[in-house]
A = this chain, B = another copy of it.
Amino acid sequence: MEALKKRILTDGSIEEGNVIKVDNFLNHQIDIDLLNEIGREFKDRFKSERVDKILTIEASGIAIAVIAAQYFNVPVVFAKKTESKNLDVETYESQVYSYTRDKTYTIRVSKKYLKEGENILIIDDFLANGKAVEGLVEIIDGANCNLVGIGIVIEKGFQKGGDNIREKGIKLESLAIVDKIENHKVLFR
C-alpha cells in the first residue's frame, strides 16, 4: 500500500533494536484519514471472504480494527491483556510471549463473543515474531471459529512471524512488509 509506505518513510523512524517507530500516525497519535485508507485496503484484500467478526488485541490494534470494521459491516472483539473484574470468568485464553517486553502474558476473550462456526478476520498493527497473532489464532481454534485470514499494517519481513503463518496456508495480507533495515532506513519488499 503506497500511501502507507510513503508515510512510514516520511514520518516513521528506526530506533534501537530495529524498532520501527510509527507513533506519529499509527499507535500513539493516530491519523484517522490514513486509518480509513488502511481499512478500505483490508476490505479490498479480503473482499472475496465472508467475515462475521474482526478480532484484534489491545491496545494499538483497536483503532485499526474499528475503522476497518466499518468497511466490513461487522463487530470487533478485542482480546484483553490485563485481568479485569469486568471480564467474564468463562474465557478463551492464550499465553503470549512478548520479545519487546521480555515477558509472557495471558490474552483473553470472553466465550460469549466468539461463537462456533463464525468467520473471523484478525487485524493488528505489527507482525514480527508473530506471537500475539499466534495467540489470537489459538483462541479462534479454541472457540471452533473459522480463521478467514490475517490483516497486518506493518510486517517485519526479516523476522519469522509472517513466514510461519504463510507456511500454515493462512491468508496473510500485510500492507507494508519491511524486508531490511539498513543505516536506519527501511527497505520494503
Interface of A with B (CB < 8 Å)? Answer: 15, 17, 19, 21, 23-24, 27-32, 35-36, 58-59, 62-63, 66-67, 69-70, 73-78, 80, 84-88, 100-101, 109-110, 112-113
**Residue of chain B at shortest CB distance from A21:** B86
Q: Which of B15, B28, B75, B80 contacts A31 (CB 8 A)?
A: B75
- Report whether B85 and A17 are in contact in the complex, using a CB–CB cutoff of 8 Å: yes
Q: A15-B85, A59-B59 are in contact. List 20 more A-B contacts (CB 8 A).
A: A19-B86, A23-B88, A23-B110, A23-B113, A27-B86, A28-B87, A28-B110, A28-B113, A29-B113, A30-B69, A30-B76, A30-B77, A30-B78, A32-B76, A35-B66, A62-B62, A63-B78, A84-B101, A85-B100, A86-B100
Majority-rule SS of A interface residues: mixed
Distance in angstroms from A17 CB to nearest chain B CB is 7
How many identical subunits does the complex contain? Answer: 2
What are 11 A-B residue pairs whose CB atoms fall within 8 Å in the complex? A23-B87, A28-B78, A29-B75, A29-B113, A30-B75, A32-B75, A58-B58, A62-B62, A62-B66, A67-B67, A85-B100
Distance in angstroms from A88 CB to nearest chain B CB is 8
